[in-house]
Structure 1
Amino acid sequence: MNIMLACCAGMSTSLVVAAMQESAKKQGKDYHIWAVEQGQIEDEVGNFDVLLLGPQVRHILRRVTAIVGDKAPVAVIEPTAYGRCDGAAVLRQAESLVNGR
C-alpha cells in the first residue's frame, strides 16, 4: 500500500511517517509511506492509495478531495493520534480508508 501524508511543509508529518513505518515493519507490512508539502499533492495524484492530511491543514480537505477525485480516499489524520505520533493508530486509519470501513 502507498500511503501519503501532507501538511504545511512536510516536516511535522515526517515524525508520524517514521512512527507509521516502524509500526508497519513490526506488523510485517511492506508499505511505502511518505510525507509531502501540501503544494505537491496534485503532482503526486496516482502515486498513493490513500492521502492523509495533517490536522493543521484540515481546511484544504474539500479542495484536495476534489483534486484527487475517485483515485484515492482522502481524510484528515485523527488529531489525538497525530499529536501523540501514534503510528499504529494512523496506520489503522489509512488501512480502514483503503478497505472502505
Structure 2
Amino acid sequence: MKKIVLLCTAGMSTSMLVTKIREAAKAEGYDCDVNAYPVADASSTSNDADAILLGPQVRFQEKNLKQLFPDKPIEAIDMMSYGAMDGKKVLAQAKRMIGE
C-alpha cells in the first residue's frame, strides 16, 4: 500500500480533496492511504510517505520540505486540479511521482 500525504496550511482545506482522491483510487482499484496534514506537522506525518503533495497555498515550502525529505518525491498540486477538487488528476500526479 502506497502512502500519499497532502500538506496544506491547516490540514483542513484538503480534506475534501482527500475524499475525492480516495474515491478515484477505489474506482481504479489502487491500494493507497491518503491523508492531509498541516505543513507544520510534516516532520511527524510524512516520514513514511511515498509521495508528498503540497496545496497551492503552501507550495512556497517545497524547497524546505525537499531539504527535510531529500529522498521523497515532493510536488505542488496543480492549482486547477486543486480548485476543481479533481481527485483523479491528483491521484494520477501522485502515481507518476511514485513511478507507477
- TM-score (structure 2 length as normaliser): 0.95
Deviations 1:44-89 (A, max 9, x none): 242210000000101111001110111x100000110000000000
**Whole-angstrom CA distance in 2 between matches of 1:73 and 1:30:** 18
Q: Which runs of 5+ in 1 are unaligned?
A: none
Q: Which runs of 4+ in 1 moved over 6 A?
A: none
| Structure (1 or 2) with the greater helix fraction | 1
1:17-56 equivalences in 2 (<5 Å): 17-56=18-57
**Whole-angstrom CA distance in 2 between matches of 1:45 and 1:66:** 13
Shift, 1:29, TM fit: 1.3
Does residue 4 (structure 1) correspond to residue 19 (structure 2)? The answer is no
Does residue 87 (structure 1) correspond to residue 90 (structure 2)? The answer is no
SS in 1 for 2:11: coil
8 Å CA contact retained: 2:21, 2:34: yes
Q: Provide the identity percentage.
A: 35
| Alignment RMSD | 1.1
Question: Which residue of the partner structure matches residue 97 of structure 2?
Answer: 97
Aligned residues: 99
